[in-house]
Amino acid sequence: MKPNLPNLPISTPSLNHHVSTEQLQVCNSDALVQLLCNEMQPQVKTTSTSVQAIAKRIAKEVERICSKSSRIQTSGQIKSWLLNLARHRSQKCLRYYQLGSKKGRVELHSQLGAMVYRHIIISSSDLGFEARYNLIEDFLQAFYLEAIKAFRRENELPEDYTPRTQLELAEYMAFTEQYAKRRINLPSGNQQLVILRAQSFARRLPQETTVDIEQAVESAKTEEAESYQRHSAVQQVRSVMTAQSQFDPAEDSERDRVISELVKYLEAHGQADCIDYLSLKLQDLSAPEIDQILGLTTRQRDYLQQRFKYHVEKFAKQHQWQLVHQWLGAGLEQKLGLSSQQWEVFVSQLSEQQQQILQLKTAKQSDQAIARTIKCTPKQLQKRWTQMLEIAWTIRNGSTGMQAG
């Protein structure tokens, strides 16, 4: 893991030779925003509106810090502090922007992981590296969720705000790093926020967690172990910040579009609680954490999961099958994600009419044209195509016992 960035020095900021007398004289809120915009705009490929929005948020944050710090208020150098803190924030944002989405996420994840590594322990237990690593991943999942909530709250953003552009993501990552390093005053001294959270997380872990985690990271050697590893809690996709290790802007865009269309579909079907569930699953929260946030009993969550699964399958097989399959790399051009051997099995299981539908779909004819050709309504065609996709899904997921070739 990479070392932490140096913390902002606590000595007087007047030593910063970048601060000119002219800049200090005009350092009111609007002037500070304009100064940050002028410094950031040449270094990013985004609109001036986006840069200005981020500059305003940085200015607001540092103004809050300066107003609450008695040391800064009594220093006689408030403007100098204001400018230095603002530049510190903007430079950190630009650093993550220059790293890019993939490297920036890995950098932040590595920094926070290094900070909490020795604090994620279970008393009287000797955790191996893999087991501790998985615990750290689970902890950071929750911390990222806390950070985005704090980011929204402190910047008075909508509850559903999510960074969309590379610059917005860089701003969020810079905020998360700074949020993690905030010093919390305690009777025994002060401590960084992320370390306090990690210590609290470790204290809540039951002793038997060690056995569970060690089993989860070992290869499944028995039927019982295989069953354990198939359990949803073990199969959680790890942290949002490192999930896309092979970052591809096009793939990222497709993923965002799938999520956006799924949310629209759920909204149209009056499934607001499914949208809440989806947003939490995208943060890779465990079932107990989801229960706590949504205020659900285990039974209520099981029911919500089943309803969510039903709508996701309907969305994937009927409403937006092309979009979903394209994102999964399982479009018709890729034989619906089947191997050559599986494709032969799939085609052999189709009726004569279904094979005709497949040929016409492969030829990229419209649904209206296909419906006319096989003499059925568009709705009947959709139902038949869904049945065909279900056959392909069954084969692809190994229900036939065939191996991918």
Structural domain contains residue 242: no
pLDDT per residue over 227-276, tens digit each? Answer: 433 433 333 333 333 343 344 444 445 566 677 778 888 888 788 888 88
pLDDT at 17 (0 to 100): 37
Residue predicted with more confidence, 33 or 189:
33
Domain end call among 212, 241, 273: 212
Structural domain contains residue 391: yes
Which residue segment(s) compose the domain that 302 sits in?
Answer: 249-326
Residue predicted with more confidence, 157 or 223:
157
Shared-domain flag, residues 156 and 267: no
pLDDT per residue over 38-52, tens digit each? Answer: 999 999 898 889 999
54, pLDDT greater than 90: yes
Shared-domain flag, residues 45 and 165: yes
pLDDT at 376 (0 to 100): 87
pLDDT at 131 (0 to 100): 72
Shared-domain flag, residues 58 and 81: yes
Structural domain contains residue 69: yes
- Among the ranges given (8-17, 201-210, 268-277), the one the predictor scored with the smallest mean pLDDT: 8-17
pLDDT at 231 (0 to 100): 37
Structural domain contains residue 189: yes
List the structure tokens of 174.
């810079």
Shared-domain flag, residues 142 and 61: yes
Q: Encode the chain in three state secondary structure.
A: CCCCCCCCCCCCHHHCCCCCHHHHHCCCHHHHHHHHHHHHHHHCCCCHHHHHHHHHHHHHHHHHHHHHCHHHHCCCCHHHHHHHHHHHHHHHHHHHHHHHHHHHHHHHHHHHHHHHHHHCCCCCCCCCHHHHHHHHHHHHHHHHHHHHHHHHHHCCCCCCCCCCCHHHHHHHHHHHHHHHCCEEEECCEEEEHHHHHHHHHHHHCCCCHHHHHHHHHCCCCCHHHHHHHHCCCCCCCCCCCCCCCCCCHHHHHHHHHHHHHHHHHHHHCCCHHHHHHHHHHCCCCCHHHHHHHHCCCHHHHHHHHHHHHHHHHHHHHHHCHHHHHHHCCCCHHHHHHCCHHHHHHHHHCCCHHHHHHHHHHHCCCCHHHHHHHCCCCHHHHHHHHHHHHHHHHHHHCCCCCCCCC
Structural domain contains residue 286: yes
Shared-domain flag, residues 23 and 98: yes
Number of domains in the chain: 3
What does the alpha-carbon distance between residue 41 and residue 86 come to, in Å, rounded to a whole number?
Answer: 15
Structural domain contains residue 220: no
Within 10 A of 235 (CB to CB), how many other CB atoms are there? 9
Shared-domain flag, residues 175 and 307: no
Shared-domain flag, residues 43 and 92: yes
pTM: 0.48
Shared-domain flag, residues 61 and 167: yes
Going by C-alpha positions, the residue among 4, 170, 190 that lies closest to residue 98 is 170
What does the alpha-carbon distance between residue 12 and residue 330 come to, in Å, rounded to a whole number?
Answer: 59
pLDDT per residue over 87-113, tens digit each? Answer: 999 999 999 999 988 888 888 988 888
Domain end call among 284, 305, 326: 326
Going by C-alpha positions, the residue among 294, 293, 141, 120 that lies closest to residue 209 is 120
115, pLDDT greater than 60: yes
Domain end call among 268, 297, 326: 326
pLDDT at 95 (0 to 100): 93
pLDDT per residue over 160-204, tens digit each? Answer: 888 889 999 999 999 999 999 988 877 777 888 898 888 888 887
Structural domain contains residue 239: no
Within 10 A of 224 (CB to CB), how many other CB atoms are there? 10
pLDDT at 297 (0 to 100): 83
Residue predicted with more confidence, 86 or 223:
86
Structural domain contains residue 225: no
What does the alpha-carbon distance between residue 93 and residue 86 come to, in Å, rounded to a whole number?
Answer: 11
What does the alpha-carbon distance between residue 275 and residue 313 come to, in Å, rounded to a whole number?
Answer: 15
Shared-domain flag, residues 18 and 72: yes
Shared-domain flag, residues 39 and 159: yes
Shared-domain flag, residues 319 and 367: no
What does the alpha-carbon distance between residue 173 and residue 148 come to, in Å, rounded to a whole number?
Answer: 9
Shared-domain flag, residues 140 and 201: yes
pLDDT at 295 (0 to 100): 79
Q: What are phi and psi of 201, to 5 degrees?
A: -60, -45
